[in-house]
Structure 1
C-alpha cells in the first residue's frame, strides 16, 4: 500500500481537532446504546459498541456480553478485574493481586486477557476511548484505576475489532462505560475479611450529580477509597512450609500432586561454608558443626530455611480514586464535555531475605579468599610478603580450608540467607490520570460530528528493600585485624576511607546493624507512561434504499505513546546481586483513517425480516512499523422478529509495543527443565549424544557416578536475559464470529427469555513471542544447534552450583509465533415476575458458558504446534451462573463459577516425566458466592455476602510444577488462593 505523507496527515488532523476545539472543549465518544441529543426531527440516533455509526436505523452485528452495574453492586468487588475474571470468555490474568508478589515491577497491577491470547491483545476502553497503560512498555490497562462502583456496565466484544478501534483488539474489546447524568448523592461503605481473619477489605465511596435548572448542563463527581489487606503464605496450612511436588524428586507422575515437605532452601540465615572437603554450618544453639542437612534427618536437625514464612499470597493494595464529568449544551444540538479521572494506589510485596553466596561477589570461581597477601617495604628496603587472615573466620573453618585457585592463599565458599539485612520486597506508589475534552453535535438532520482530545499518564515510584551492594559486601567481607588496635577493619584502604564497615557472615545474627547499613542497597524504580489521543468522527446517513437507510461513519485518529522505566544504577548493572535490568525508553505515534458503512439489503420479506451488510476499514501509519490495514465485513439476518443471525469476518492488527521494540537485555530467573538430566555415560540416543558433547555436561556426569545430576540450587539458579527487537513487524489476526439470538415473543412463560450462541475462530500470524526457553533447550539438544547460542552452562563447580548446570538461557522477541483459538459462547438470560404463577417475588438468572475447541501455540514456523487447550489456566469448559430473587424489600443473589477439569502443561509432562499429554490433571472446580440485601427505607440498602461460601481449596499446583504461583502452592490467577470471605455494608441515596 502506498505510504501516507505524514506531514499532510498531521496537518489534516490538527486542523480537524482545532476546528472542534475552536467550538468548545471536547467529550468522549458516545457509549454503547447511548442516546444522543434529539435532532430537528426529534429522532434518536444510536451508537453501539463495535461501531462508530450513529443512525436511526442501526442493527447490532457484533456479539456483546454485558455486565451490568447491578451485578457489580451485588458482587461488591473492590476491583472490576475480580468480576471480569468470572466471565468464561476471559483467561488467566497476566497480573493480579495474587500472582505478582515476585514481580520486580508492576506488582499488584490488575489486567485482563480475553481468550487466553494475552493482555496485549485485549483492548480496554473507557466510554469507548483508549486508556493510558498501567504497565511501562505495554498497552495493558491497570483496572485498579477504574472505580468499580462508578461503572454503569461493561460490554465485552469477542473477535477482532481493529477496524473500529485500532491496534490491540485482536482478541476483542472490553468497553467500560461509566455512569452519566447522575442526580443526587449516593454513599456506600463496606468491610470484610477472610474466614481466617486476614485479607481485611474496606471500601468507601461517594457519588454526586446535579443538573442545571434549564436541563442543559450536568456535573458529576465520584470519589472512592479501597484498602485490601495482605494474605501471607504462612497463614494457610497448604503453603505454610516450603515444599515441592514429590514427583519432581521421584520422577513418578503419580506423585506430581503430592507435596514433599519440608523442602527448605539450602541458603540458611546462619550460613553454610565449604572449606576443603568439609561443609560447616551452625546448629540451632549457635554451635559450629561440620555437617549440613537442608531438610533434616533422623539424626540431624534441619538446617535449611523456610521461605514461605515470608511470602505473600495476596498483595496489600490501597487506592484512592477520583472521577468527574461535566457537559453543557452550549447551543441547540451541540454539547461540550470534560471528563477526567485520577487514581493513586500503593502496593507492597514481601518475600524472604536475599539468598547470597560467594558466587555473587566472586563470579569467576565462586571462591572467597580468607587469607590475604600484603606486600610492604621493610627497614632494609626489601619487599616482604605479609599473610593476613580474615578477621572473623572461625578456627575450624580456617584450618579445613585449602588453596583452590593456586594463588597460595586459603579459600572458602559460602551461601547465606541475609536475614540480618531484612526481608525483600517493594513499596510501589502509582499515580494515573486521564482527561478528555470533546464536542459533539448535529451538523444537519442526518449528520453529526464528534471530536475529542485526550491525555493520560501513569507514574510509578518504587522502593525495594533487602538488596545488596555486592562491591561493598566484598570490601566488608575482606576484613582483617588491625595489629595496633586489635579491632577488625576493612582491608582495602580506599574502602575504609569511604566508610567501609567490617562484616562477618559466620552465624545467624553475625552481621552488625552498622555493617548491614553499609552493604544494604535499597532499589529504586521510576516509570512514566503517557498517551495522547485525538480524533474526529463524522457519522450520518447517505441515502435511502427500499430496505432502509444507508449509514456511515468516517474520520481520522491520532495517537502518541511514550514509556520510560529506569531502575537505580546498581540494579541496571546487576551489582545488587539481583536481576540486571537496564533502562528502557521509547515512543511511537500513529495516524489512522477509518470508515464504516451499513447497508440494509432486504426487509419485510418472507423469512427475511431484515438483512443488513456492514463493512469497516482502517488504514494506519505507524512511526515504527509503517502502514497497516484492518477491516471487517459482516451480515446480519433476521428471518423473523424472534431470531437474529450474524456473521462477521475481520482482519485485525497489533503493532509491537514499546517494551517489545526497545527493551535492552534484561535479566530474569525462569523455571526450565534441563533435557540432560539423567543422561549417563552409556545412555543412547541423539539427545544423550548432544548432551555429552558439551564438556561441562560430561564433567558433571563423570563427577556424579556416571549420571548427569543437578542439586537444588542448580534447579532454582537458572538465569537468562530477555531482549526487545526494533525490527519487529505488526501482528495480523483474522477472526470469524458467527452467532444466533433467539428471543421468543407471544409465549408468556418465555416473555423475558434470551438465548445467544456465538462461534469464534481467531488466528494470529506473525505473533510477537518471546521464544519459550524450554523450546530453545529442546531444539538445541534435538539437533538444531543454532539454538545452542542462547544457552550457557557453568564450566566450573562451586559450593552452590554444579559444573555443567544451566547458568543462562536467553530469549528474544520475534514475529515467529502463531496463535489459534476457537470455540463457542452460550449466554442465556431469563427474568420473570412470579405472580404470574401465583407466587411472590421476582426471579432473574443469566448463564454465560464458553467451550474452547482449540487453543494452539506455534513457537516458530515449521515447529510442532503446542496445544494448550484444556491445560491449567485454559480449561475447555467454563461457566458463570448468576441468579437473583427479590421480594418486597429483600433480595438474594447466588453466583456460581465453574472451571472445568484441567491438565498440566504437556511440555512439562513430557520433559519431566516423559508422559503423554493429559496424563495428569485436576478435576473441575466450582465456587459459590452469595449476596443478600434489605431496604429498610427507600433511601437505604443494607447488604452482606460471602464469597467462596464453601471454602473450596485451590487446585494443588505445587512448587516445581508449571503454572505454580510462588508462595501460594496453586495457580493463584486461576483458583482462589484466599478461601472463604465475608463482607457487609450499606448504600444510601439522597
Structure 2
C-alpha cells in the first residue's frame, strides 16, 4: 500500500480538480516502478510521486458524458474557469462558420491556447483567433488538462490566459460501440449520436497498438417560436423598418399601404402610417448541426523508444436561419412606375414626388446559411530515452477549411432594385410566380483555409544533485509556419445582409521559430522553483523573450503554497491582419446623430431610415497593428487537513496592453463628435456605414480567484460518496476600448451597449456516488446574475442561472455500460435579458442554454 506521504503528494499534485477528477486517495498495490509523465504546464518528465503542484484542473471525459454532454463545446463551457463569448449559437448572428471557442477567465479566445496531446491544432479559418472546439473528437479524448495560469514561456507567446490540453487515449484494445439519444421536453434540440472505437495490439506484450474511432452526431435546431421565453417579450422596439409589404418614404415621412393592420404576426404597426417587421421570429436560437469525426493512432514500441502516427479529422456542418434580407432604400419609384403608390394609407393622393422603398425579401423566406468546417491533423511523434535524457519530438500538419454557403433566402440587391422599378416584383403585395426567385442567390460565398506546419524537439533530465534534491532541466526548439487563404466568391459581392458583402479575397503567411529552457530547482527542503524562458521570432512582427518563475513551498504535509509570475506576448493573428473588409448590420439599433439626434428626425431624416435602426458597419483587418504584451501573477494555497478533504484557492492577476479588437459601434455612436471620421455618409447626407476595422484598443486588466474543494466521505455500506466544488470568482475586469481611453468595467453587468457582462462567479458542484457496478452523479452548473443591458427596463437585473444534471450508470461484466439521466432537471428557463447584441432576444445565448429539460440514454458495449 502507498504510504500516507505518497498519498498526500499525489493529492496535492492533483489539487484544484473539479467534480470530474479521479479520486486522489485510491488505494493501489505498488508496482515498484513509477511511470514518468509530462503534465500540462511543464516540459520536464517526472514520476507522479515527484510531480509538482500546479494550478491544473483534470477533466475525465467519461465522467462528463454522464451529465449528458456529447460535444467538447458542452464540456468546456461547463468549466468554472471558462467564460466563452463565442459558442455554437453565436453562428446565428455572426459569420463564424459554426465555431465555438474556449476563453479561460473570460479574457478572450485569443488568449487561450488549445492543444491536442501537447501540440497545436490549426485555428478556425473564418475567425482565425483560436481552434474550433468542434474540431476535437470527444470520443477519442481520455482527459482534458486545464492549466489556469500564463504559459507563454512553456508553450508559446499566445498562451496568456492559460492552456487547454486534450489528451487522447495512449492505446486501445478491442471494439466498443456506443450510442446516445437526447430528447427534449420542448420542441427542437433533439440529439442523436453513435460511435465505434476499435484497436489491436498490446504495447507491453506485442510492442505495438493501432486503434481508431469514428463518431457521428446530429443536433436539431431550436427556433424562436419553439421557446416562449424567446418571443414573449418582443415589443415595438424590436420592429424593423425594413418590412414586407414594403414601407415607402414620401416627402420625408414613412408609409405602408398595409398600415395600420400590416401583416401580423411578422409585420406589425410601427406607427399609424407604417409597418415594422418582427424579424426575430424568423431566427434560430441554436443551429442545426451535423458532425462527423474520425481519429486514428498507431504506436510502435522499440525498446526505450515509442513512435506514433496520429490522424484526426472533423467535419462539422452548421445550418442557421435568420430573418429575410433587409432591403434598405433598395429602389426609388417615380410617378408612372407600375407600383408607384398613388395614395397614402389614409386615402390622400400622392402628387408624383419620388418614393424610396424599404423592404424585406419575405417571399423568399428566411436566409439559410450552411457552414461547412473541416479540420484535419496528421502528426508523427517520437519519444523515449536517449543517453539518459527523456526526449520528445515530432512533426505535424494541421488545416481547417471553412466554407460559407448561401442555401436560400439571399438576394441580389441590384436585381431586386431593377425588378421593383420595372414592375417585375410588386414591393407591396404578391408578385408573379418566380419573380422573387429570379433575384435569389445560391452557392458558396466564402471559402477560407488556415494551415499550420510544425516541428519540435525537446529533452529533459535530472542533471544535478543539490542539497535539497535533484535539479531537473529541459531544453527545446520549435518551428511552425502558418498560412491563411481567404477567398471571397463573386456571389458574395451581391448577397445583401450576408455579413461579407463588398468583401475582397486575401491571403497571408508567417513563420515562427522558438527556443526554450526550463529548470526545476529544489532551493531548500520543501521549497522548489520552476524557472522557464522562451524566445520566439516571428517573420512579420519581430522577436519576443518571455520568462516565467513559479515556486512551491510545502512547510508541512498538510499545506502547500504556490505562486507564479510570467510575461506574455501575442502577435496579431493572420486574421487580425489579413481579414477582408466587409459590411454587416450592427446588432444594436442606433439613432443617426445627424439625421435623428436624440431620437427625433431632423436635417432631412425620417423615423424608418435614421432612428432606432440597425446601420451597416465596416469590419476588417489592419496591417498596422502592434503586438500585445501581457503579464500574469498567481498565488495559491492548497490544504489537506485530513486525507478525505483537499481544498485550494488560487488568486490570479492578468494585464494585457495594446489589446487588439474592433471599436464597438456603441462607442462610435456614443461620441459622434470624437469619432466623426468613423461615419461614412451618402451624397444625400444619410449614413452609409461606420468604420469598425481592427485596431489596438488599450489595456485589459483582470483578477480573481479559483476555488476548489474535494470531499471524499468515508466508505459506507451504501457505497462511496463524494462532493466536489470547482468555482471561479472574478474580482476585477476593466478594459480600455480605445487608446488612452477611460477604463470600462463589464464586471457583474453590461457596460452600456459596449461590453458584454463578465460573470463574477461561476461554479460546478457535483455529488458522486458509487456502489459496485452502480454509480450516480448530480451536478449543479451555476452562473451568477448581473446587471442587464438596459437597466431602466423591467427585469434590469438578470437573475442567476442554475441547472442540475442527474444521471445513473450501470456496468455489466466490464462490457456493457448504460447511463440514463436528465439534463436541466428542473427545466430552468434562461433568465430574461433585454440584451440586443445577438439576434436571439429575451435571453443571452452565450450565458444560458435554451434547450430546457432533456432526457438522455447512453449505452456502450465492448465486444
TM value normalised by structure 1:
0.77
User: In structure 2, how many angstroms separate the alpha carbons of the residues matched to 1:640 and 1:764?
Assistant: 36
What does residue 952 of structure 1 align with?
828
1:275 and 1:402 in contact (8 A); partners too: no
1:770 aligns with 2:662: yes
Asked if the contact 2:197–2:211 (Cα under 8 Å) also holds between the matched residues in 1, the reply is yes
Equivalent residue, structure 1, for 2:506: 584
Query: How far did 1:854 drift?
Result: 0.2
| Match status 1:129 vs 2:119 | yes
Residue 555 (str. 1) matches residue 439 (str. 2): no
Query: Equivalents in 2 of 1:167, 1:951: separation in Å?
Result: 43
Match of residue 600 from structure 1: 522
Indicate yes or no: 2:85 matched with 1:94.
Answer: yes
Structure 1 residues 425 and 167 mapped into 2: Cα distance closer, same or farther (>3 Å)? farther
- In structure 2, runs of 5+ residues without a counterpart are 1-21, 24-31, 751-756
CA contact (8 A) 1:470 1:519 kept: no
Q: How far, CA to CA, are the matches of 2:700 and 2:212 in structure 1?
A: 43
Verify the 8 A CA contact 2:341 2:350 in the aligned structure 1. Answer: no
Q: 1:80: which partner in 2?
A: 72
Q: Is the 8 A contact 1:449 1:536 kept in 2?
A: yes
Computing the radius of gyration from Cα coordinates, the structure with the larger value is 1
Partner of 1:279: 255
How many Å apart are 1:393 and its aligned residue? 4.5
**Is structure 2 residue 643 aligned with structure 1 residue 751?**
yes
Match for residue 315 of structure 1? 287
- Are the structure 2 counterparts of residues 356 and 890 from structure 1 closer, same or farther at C-alpha, using a change threshold of 3 Å? same
Aligned to 2:15: none
Q: Match of 1:828?
A: 709
Alpha carbons of structure 1 residues 699 and 285: separation in structure 2 relative to 1, 3 Å: closer
Q: Is contact 1:62-1:648 (8 Å) kept?
A: no
Shift of 1:66: 1.4
Q: Distance in 1 between matches of 2:259 and 2:649?
A: 66
Contact 1:353 1:422 in 2 (8 A): yes
- Aligned partner of 2:390 in structure 1 is 448
Match of 1:220 among 185, 205, 211: 211
1:976 has 2:833 as partner: no
Instruction: Say whether the 8 Å CA contact 1:137–1:563 is kept in structure 2.
Output: no
Is the counterpart of residue 229 in structure 1 residue 220 in structure 2? yes
Q: Distance in 2 between matches of 1:183 and 1:137?
A: 38
- Tell me if structure 1 keeps the 8 A contact 2:413–2:495: no
How far off is 1:309 after superposition?
Answer: 3.2
> CA separation in 2, counterparts of 1:699 and 1:125?
49
8 Å Cα contact 2:157-2:536 kept in structure 1: no
Q: In structure 1, the residue corresponding to 2:215 is in which secondary structure?
A: strand
1:326 offset after TM fit, Å? 0.8
State yes or no: 1:183 paired with 2:75. no
Match of 2:146 in 1: 156
Residues 507-553 of structure 1: per-residue CA shift (max 9 Å, x gap): 43315315522454555221111111111112112221121111111
Alignment partner, residue 790 of structure 1? 678
The corresponding residue for 2:617 is: 720
The residue matched to 1:281 in structure 2 has which SS?
coil
SS at match of 2:64: helix
Contact 1:671 1:716 in 2 (8 A): no
Question: 2:527 — aligned with what?
Answer: 611
2:740 corresponds in structure 1 to: 862
Q: 1:295 to 1:514 in 2, by over 3 A?
A: closer
Instruction: Give the structure 2 partner of residue 343 of structure 1.
Output: 314
1:978 to partner: Cα distance: 2.1
Greater alpha carbon shift after TM alignment, 806-815 vs 648-657: 806-815
Partner residue in 1 for 2:725: 847
**Is the CA contact 1:346–1:428 (under 8 Å) kept in the aligned structure 2?**
yes
Q: How does 1:323-472 map to 2 (within 5 A)?
A: 323-330=295-302, 332-357=303-328, 359-361=329-331, 367-370=332-335, 389-393=336-340, 396=343, 400-402=349-351, 404=353, 411-445=354-388, 447-464=389-406, 465-472=408-415
- CA separation of 1:48/1:308 partners in 2, compared to 1, >3 Å: closer, same or farther? same
Superposed displacement of residue 602, structure 1: 1.3
The one of 548, 556, 563 equivalent to 1:640 is 556
**Is contact 1:230-1:313 (8 Å) kept?**
yes
1:792 CA displacement = 3.6
Contact 2:289–2:318, Cα closer than 8 Å, also in 1:
yes
8 A Cα contact 1:170 1:733, kept in partner:
yes
Post-superposition shift, 1:71? 1.9
CA distance in 2, matches of 1:952, 1:866: 32
| Deviation of the 1:977 alpha carbon | 1.7
Shift in Å at residue 58 of structure 1?
A: 4.4
Larger mean CA deviation between 762-771 and 772-781 belongs to 772-781
Are residues 63 and 576 of structure 1, via their aligned partners in 2, closer, same or farther at CA, if it must alter by over 3 Å? Answer: closer
2:194 is aligned with 1:204: yes
Q: Give the direction of change, closer, same or farther, for the CA distance of 1:933–1:713 in structure 2 (3 Å limit).
A: farther
Post-superposition Cα deviations, 1:718-762, rounded to whole Å, max 9, x if no partner, equal 112123221222211111111121234xxxxx4332111111011
Deviation for aligned residue 1:163: 0.5
Cα RMSD between the aligned structures?
3.2
Q: Secondary structure at the match of 1:952?
A: coil
1:237, 1:170 → 2: CA distance? Answer: 41
Q: Distance in 1 between matches of 2:341 and 2:693?
A: 47
Residues 104-154 of structure 1 deviation map (CA, whole Å, 9 limit, x = unaligned): 342x21211111111111101111111111243513111112122322111
Return the alpha-carbon distance in structure 1 between the equivalents of residues 281 and 745 of structure 2. Answer: 37
- 1:399 offset after TM fit, Å? 10
Q: Corresponding residue for 1:627?
A: 543
Length-normalised TM-score, structure 2: 0.88
Show the counterpart of 2:762: 878
Structure 1 residue 567 corresponds to structure 2 residue 448: no
Corresponding residue SS for 2:668: helix
| Aligned 8 A contact 1:571 1:581 in 2 | yes
